[in-house]
Every structure is written in C-alpha cells, then in structure tokens.
Chain A
Amino acid sequence: MKEGKERELLNRWKTTVDLGKFVLGARTQALPDESREILGMIQPDLTDTLLQPKNRRVALAQCDSLSEYIEFVNKKLDEGKKVAYYYFCMSPEIMLALDMLPICYELLGGISAGNYIHGCEDGIDKIESEGYPDHLCATQKGTSGYLLMGIVPKPDVLLMYEWASVTFGAPLITFEMPYYFNERAFRFFVGEVKRMVEQLEKISGNSLDEEKLREYVKIGNQAMEYLLKVQELRKEVPCPDPAWHRPTDTAFSLLMGRPESVSYFKTVYEDAEKRVEKGESIIPEGKKEIRCAWGYAWQGFSLPFFNWLEEEHGATYLECVLTYFPPFTGLVDTTSLDTMIEGLAWRWFCWPMSRQSASFSDIWVNDFVRICEDFKADCLILGGHMACKHFWALNKLLSDRVKEEVGIPTLRFEQDIFDARFTPVSELKRIMNTFFATL
C-alpha cells in the first residue's frame, strides 16, 4: 500500500484486485485488515459471476493485469513522472514512449463503477455539488469528482479536458477529430497528432525516440491483433465470448501499448477460440441463443447483469459502439516514426465511438446495419447513455434503418452507464424481461 492521498483510489483498487485473486484461488497469503472495509464495498454478485467456470480465466487475467497496471502507475508516481490524463478515444503509446504516466480520464470512474456497490458515486456527487449539471457524462464526472477530492494523481497535462485544465492549472492539449471520414479529414488528423507530439515533448522534457515508440506500438499491435480476432469470433453461432467482456474490452483497449492489455485480450481470445473449436456455448444448455447487437453502449456499473442476460435469456452480446473497431483498422506499421504516428492516428480515427459520434449519423447507422447483418443479430439493443445527446438525436434513424434493411426489432432504454442510480439493475432486468418476452 502506497502512502499519499492522491493514491487513495489506486490503493482501493489494489485491495480489490487482491481480494479478487484470493477468491479466484490465485492468492494464498492472508489479506491485510483494511481489506475488510473494501470487501464490504464490492458488489456481492460480482464474485458469483467471476467464479463461474466460463468466466474464471478472464477474471483472473483481469485481476493480474489490473494489478500490474497499478504497480506501473505507482512506480511512475514514485519516479515523479509527468501525469498525462488522456481522452478515451485513443491509446497511450506516445505518452509511454515519452516516459510519462498516462492515465485515461474515464477509466478512473469506470473501474470503480464496475467493482463497487456505490460505483463512482462519490466522485459524481462531489462534482455535482459544485454546480455541474447531472446530465453531464458520468464517465467524466466520476473522475472530475475524484480530482476535486484529491484521491487520484494531479494532472500535469490534459488531453481534451478544459475544466480540469482550468481547475488544476495544467496545460491543455486538444486535437481535432474532423467531422468527415475521408482522406482530407485523415490528413488533417495526422497533423493534429504530430502537433500533439510536439506539445507532449515540451511538457515531458523528452523527445520521441523511434525505438522506444516501436517497442510500445508493437505491444499495442499485439493487443489489437487479439482484439480484432476475437471480434471476428463473435460472428460465430453460438457466440463464444461472454457479454461482460464488452465493458472490460473498452477498458483494456485504452491501455494498448501496455502489456496488461495484451494479456487480457490474449486470454479472451484463447477462451473464445477454444469454445469455437469445441462447439461450446456460453449460454445454458437447452437455451436458444438470442444474438444482440448493442447499437450504443454497455453499462459499466453491473458486469453481473450481462451474465444474467446469458443465463436467464440466452442473450449474447455481439458488438457495440464502445467496442467496435472496423476490420480495416488493422495494425500500426512500425517501419518508421512517420508510419507509426500515421498508424496510431488511423487507429484513433477508427476508434470506437470516436468514429461514430464525431461524424455524420450515417457512419454510425451504416456501421450497425452492417454489424447486424454480419454478426447475424436477432435484435438491436440501444442502451442510451443519458449524457450522450448526439445519440439521442440519431437513435430513431438507426432503428428505422435496421428494421428496414435487416428486419430486426430494436429495444431502446435510458441509462447512465456509470451511475446505477439512474436506471438500477432491477429496472434494467425488468426492461429486458419484457422485451425478450415479446421478441
């Protein structure tokens, strides 16, 4: 356990992970006394879910990976490296190569939301108590509140978050994702990434070393390769990849460049591949599979909910806007510094949600018409995140097109993906029961 208030959340996670390993049988040493407090915070049904045979290996890989990531963050903090908070539509290879400590802003609230009974509500309540409206995105509110509470590291630089930049006096780097998905827009975006590198070099005091970057990009490529392969496997009938992996896929894709991301996606892929080879299913024997394309977002406050979907309804989770990389995303060419920067820019250009939400509705709609067809979906589920106003102005266009071209129905409901108080799990289950009864 590391001292210092700014490590309070990290310490909370560390104890959580140790408890997870203990439960999963991977840790035998006795846990310290303070673990009891954390144990009381953890969602009780999370343990049941992770202990299921189909979930155990990935659950353990997650615990190990998160444990290593916490160690990495602590080490960088000990070394006094510059803390760079980055946006959730990119990966941290460049910051790693510049020897900074990259922390994804949304991940702090997200990991808390996924583990604890009260998720990241403490952070959300803190920022809302400052006058910020409840309809803003909880993925950012959680972390913003934690920053105000002082329980996470202070930023030295922010990629995209003006509020935090003003509040903590840290420089703000922005990069523009142009509104079009074409060559002109991509060229502009490559320029943006290059400009971002220049600014990060100044702030970190290091210049971007080609060899170092190659090292991290290769690690990122490994994770990406597994991710794309498992994405393909989800087209199989029955779907071989459990639904609760979708929120964690999002989390670990944000760590591409770190070995933890590779371990996670490798395990997910191996499990899925084995099931395909053996013709095994992730839903109970005798249940008919209901293949669900989630046209927008998972919720991150109850992973057991997704397990319940499989167990209760045989409903599998194929793809969503927060996880889908188009197959043409590919890998980053590591030939030179230029190809790596351009390759990372291309990956971020294709990044889930960024690609769909930062452009015309057509991109999103067309992606999901194609996904529903390719993944042989039986229905489209639109779990709309309350804060995402752009989604709420396209969901009808999306469901109409999917009905027209694929002939499948849509379920739409409201949720806050990091705040269970908005639509509690019990209500989500009621909504699902009603929908599947009419399907």
Chain B
Amino acid sequence: MKLPARLENPYVKEWKERVGYVIGYVCTYVPEEIIFAAGMLPYRVEARGCTTTELADVYMHRFNCTYPRCLLQLGLSGEYDFLDGFCLLNGCEQIRRMYEIWSKYVKTKFMAMITVPHAIYEEGYEWYRDEVSNFAENLRGYFAAKLTDEDLRNAIKVYNESRRLIARLYDLRKSEKPPISGTDAFKLVTAAFWMPRDKYNHLLKEALDEISQREGISDYRARVMIGGSACDDPSFIELVEGRGGLVVTDSLCFGTRHFFNLVEEKGDPLEAIAKRYYHHNPCPRMLREYGNRLQFTEKLAKGAKVDGVILQRISFCDNHGVESPMLAKDLEAKGIPVLVLEKEYMLSDVGRLKTRIEAFLERIERR
C-alpha cells in the first residue's frame, strides 16, 4: 500500500483531478460518511512533520497547544489550499477558536461548525442530530450535492468495512508475537483519514492478508499502549519502539476511539450516523463519562496484554491535562503501570522523551 504522506498524497491529487471536492475536518465527532456520501473526500486535517508555528503564532498564543497551532500554520502557509471546505467542531477550547481565524485568513470557501454537547444524554443527542442534519443540508446547498439516503447507506457500508478491517488489525496485534510494529500499524490505520475509504479498504484487505502470514515480533522489552492527546504522527510511536517497547494498542482519537463502534446499517441512515458518532467511545471533553473512559482504557490494555500505558499529553491540553492524572491513578491502582508524558504535538525535546520512556520501560522490567 502506498501510504499518503502529508506533502505527497497521490490519492488526494487523483481525487481532485478526477472526482472533485475535498472537505477537511477535525475531531472524531464530524461524521465522515456524510461528506463521502455527498461525493466528496473527507480529509482529517493534520500537520505531521510540521516544525514551526510562526505564522499561527500571530493569532494563537504560546498558551495554545501546538496541535491547533500546527494545523493553522499549514492553513496560513497555503498547504491546505486544496480544501474546498472545512468543518470544525467545538471539541476543545483551542480547536474551536480556529474557526474564525481560518475563515478570515485562510479563506477556505465553505466553512462549517458542528457543535456537540459536553455530555451524553437524550436531549444532547437530539441537539447533535440536528447539527449533523444541518451540516448535511449545508453541504447539499453549497455544493449542489445530491446526498440521498441511498448515498448515506452506501457510505455507511464503506466506513463500517474500514472499521471491521481496522479492528482485525488491532486483533492481530493482541498476539504474543504481533506480526506488525506499532509504528507500521499506526501508519496503516491513519492512512484511512487521507485517502478515499473504498480504495483504502481494498488496499488494507490486501495488506492484512500479507501481515497475517508474518512470523511476528518477539524481541521487545514491553508491550505498550498509547493514550492521551491528539496524536497522528507515527514518529512518536517510533520513538517508543526505538527504546524497545512494542506498541500494541492505543486509546487515541486517531486510533481506536475513532475507528471502533459500527454504524447501524438498518433504519434511517442519518439518524444511525448521528447515533454512532454521538455515542462512540467518548473524548475527555464529555463530562460524566470518566468511568466509561477508564473502563474502555482498561479493557483495551488487558485485551492487548499491555505491560504499561503511556499517556502523552500535549502541553496546554486541558482535556487530557485533567484526565491523565485521574487515569494514571486509577490504572496504577489496577496494577497497570502508567507514564504521563508531557510533549508537544510536533516531535521535539526528543532527548527528554527518550529518557522518560527508557525509565518507564526499566520500571516495567523490574516488576
């Protein structure tokens, strides 16, 4: 499978030439199926390998986490000029504020915002469903897209297939000798965000057939799970694996939290999509859900037989700033060692990260 790199993405290039519109989005609460069903390519904006935020820093401050600052940097530097639309979300205090800056200075033609209540309950769902429905309506209106129920049903099937295939990849990694490194697995999983999903499914299926035949990796020091703030860059996973850890699962919003949970294929398709996205494994932005997140994390950790969990949190990330010490305390109490690691979105301060990871692996080995 040729993986879509940030600056060299043949799939987007081909889509733009042969099909048409590309719609950027942030966050796991933006339903990709709707964009895909409207005949457009959903593209989760990312800034892998971004090394500077000098343009973004004019509008966002050093107290803003480097994830939105890096995304904005690329927007302002023209790297996202290929987007025909951009859908943001009130996911966190910082991401949501990109909306106005992006609208004013990046000037992507179509801008949208989906707002999601901060807790899971019936009335909150109704609000979210209306937001999703308005988003679909706006896509129809602005791009003259048909976006029928049939289109939505087809999109659901395509996206559910991805979810099943990705779940298979995670399952393979549960074995004593996982047939693929965490770095490569993460590259395969995240490729789904940046290429047409039907093509992705086809290529991933082929890749899985090949991967499942492999002998497997056994020369690792510890099985590790990664969690915490937004992380789309495999270089961090590579850093962990470079120290001898093997990353076998994650609770990331670019990993399991995005890809687990299927959409119901029967009934009203828009309703089914809204239900799945609203009720999927929740982000720490969702209040009253800490217990579920703890349970989800523990289940993943035990399922993949991890020796330890690394909760990486981006500096100035409020959501994970509060969540990570809570999770660390509770997971440690359940006998799962945890390392809370402060970092930037872009890979920097590598020496310190390596030392902390090394010390964590040593701690695990001493048990």
Q: Is the CB of B63 within 8 A of A360?
A: no
Instruction: Please tell me if the beta carbons of B97 and A393 are within 8 angstroms of each other in the complex.
Output: yes
Q: Which residue of A lies closest to B99 (CB)?
A: A360
Flag whether B303 is at the interface (Cβ < 8 A).
Answer: no
Instruction: Please determine whether B119 and A389 come into contact, CB atoms closer than 8 angstroms.
Output: no
In the assembled complex, B167 has its CB within 8 A of some CB on chain A: no
How many Å from the CB of A361 to the closest CB on chain B? 4
Query: Which of chain A's residues have a CB closer than 8 A to the CB of B94?
Result: 389-390, 393
| B133 to A: closest C-beta gap in Å | 13
Closest to B115 in A: A179
- Kindly state the separation between the CA atoms of A397 and B99 in the bound complex, as whole angstroms: 12
Closest-CB distance, B48 to chain A (whole angstroms): 22
Across the interface, do A178 and B64 meet the contact criterion of CB distance under 8 Å? no
Of the candidate stretches A65-73, A147-155, A159-167, A205-213, the one touching chain B is A159-167
* A188 CA to B118 CA, complexed, in Å: 13
A-B contact count (CB 8 A): 105
Decide if A195 touches B123 in the complex (CB within 8 Å): yes
A180 vs B322: C-alpha distance when bound (angstroms): 26
A132 touches B (CB below 8 Å):
yes
Asked whether, in the complex, the Cβ of B100 is within 8 Å of the Cβ of A130, the reply is: no
Residues from chain A with a CB closer than 8 A to the CB of B82 are: none
Report how many residues on chain B are interfacial, defined by Cβ distance under 8 Å.
44
Which residue of the partner chain A has the closest CB to B288? A172
Encoded as 1 (CB less than 8 Å from any B CB) or 0, chain A from 61 to 85 comes to: 0000000000000000000000000
List chain A residues, Cβ under 8 A from B291.
Answer: 166
**B127 and A188 contacting across the interface, CB-CB below 8 Å:** yes
Contact call B287/A188, Cβ cutoff below 8 A: no
A174, B100: Cβ atoms closer than 8 Å? no
Q: Report yes or no: A393 in contact with B326, Cβ–Cβ below 8 A.
A: no
The reply on B201 being an interface residue by CB < 8 A is no
Known: A131-B340, A179-B113. Contact between A386 and B63, CB under 8 A? yes
Instruction: Tell me if A174 and B63 are in contact (CB < 8 A).
Output: no
Using CB atoms, name the residue of chain B closest to A357.
B93
A45 at the interface (CB under 8 A from B): no
- Chain B residues lying within 8 Å of A386, measured Cβ to Cβ, are 63
On A, residues with C-beta under 8 Å from B are 130-133, 135-136, 160, 162-163, 166, 172, 174, 176, 178-180, 188, 191-192, 195, 360-362, 384, 386-390, 392-397, 414
Pairs A-B, 6 closest by C-beta atoms: A393-B97, A131-B325, A392-B61, A179-B115, A389-B93, A390-B93
Binding site for A on B (CB under 8 A): 58-61, 63-65, 68, 90, 92-94, 96-101, 104, 113, 115, 117-119, 123-124, 127, 287-288, 290-291, 313, 315-316, 318, 321-322, 324-326, 328-329, 340, 342
Besides A133-B342, A386-B63, 16 new A-B residue pairs in contact (Cβ under 8 A), listed by A number: A132-B325, A135-B318, A166-B290, A176-B118, A179-B90, A180-B115, A188-B127, A360-B99, A389-B316, A392-B61, A392-B63, A393-B59, A393-B97, A394-B100, A397-B100, A397-B104
